[in-house]
Amino acid sequence: MIHLLGENNSLFNQFIAEIRDEVIQKDSLRFRRNLERVGEIFAYEISKTLIYKTREVTTPLGVAKIPVLEQQPVLATILRAGLPLHHGLLNYFDKAENCFISAYRKYDPNGEFHIEFEYIASPHLDNKVVIMCDPMLATGSSMEIAYHALLQKGEPKHIHLVSVIASKQGIDYVLDKLPNDRITLWIGAIDPEMTPKSYIVPGLGDAGDLAYGEKIDSKENVIHNHF
């Protein structure tokens, strides 16, 4: 199942517009905060699909019966770009356990790349709901790698995959490679194209660099990504 939050008019799209805007992006604090706010909206929408139980809450004047979450989800993200989005999810699921996955694009001499998985820090995941976020879903390879990394820590009951911007190709790849009965996709916007280096167009640029500054490669050269 795919939930496309940007298809209806709401403040969500205002945040998406600012996240994409190359002028507003120059303010890294605002860029991070907008990703965080988008994460909060994703969290609220995902919360509607979870299981609840009734709890009796004692007030100064009596007892109220209120539905509350039966089980907190586990929040997972792919470092480093996913951290602001993850923080937004955590603002709402504030009692959740957390999981962090290190994966990155490793380029070959011919310019092609593959996804390198380094490590995962995670609680046990057996029979738990996992919400895994990554701001960009381009080729889908990172999501596939992260999904299989999660399985090293147990068998989740269900996995919600969250991305702010996705390519049509990436969505098709994920739906083809991952079990559809165990995942739900939550997407902000779907873009039609990718560059030859598999960056989404129009996209938003390099989310990690925009949030935390430019990175350097092993030869101490600054990596500039212009999309």
What are residue 137's phi and psi, to 5 degrees? -110, 95
Pick from 200, 137, 192: nearest CA to 170: 137
Helix (H), strand (E) at residue 78: strand 74-79
The pLDDT score that the predictor gives to residue 137 is 95
Instruction: For the chain, give every domain's residue range.
Output: 2-51+69-212
Conformation bin of residue 140: beta by default, left when phi > 0, alpha when psi is -120 to 50: left
User: Is 123 a residue whose pLDDT tops 60?
Assistant: yes
Question: pTM (2 decimals)?
Answer: 0.90
For 2-51+69-212, which CATH class? alpha beta
Q: In the numeric block, which tokens belong to residue 28?
A: 């890294």
How far is Cα 145 from Cα 213, in angstroms, rounded to an integer? 25
pLDDT tens by residue, 20-35: 999 999 999 999 999 9
Q: Are 84 and 36 in contact (CB under 8 A)?
A: yes
Q: In the numeric block, which tokens belong to residue 181?
A: 């009965």
SS3 (DSSP) at 224: coil
The pLDDT score that the predictor gives to residue 104 is 67
pLDDT tens by residue, 56-97: 999 999 999 999 999 999 999 998 889 999 999 999 999 999
pLDDT tens by residue, 146-198: 999 999 999 999 999 999 999 999 999 999 999 989 999 999 999 999 988 78
Q: Are 167 and 138 in contact (CB under 8 A)?
A: yes
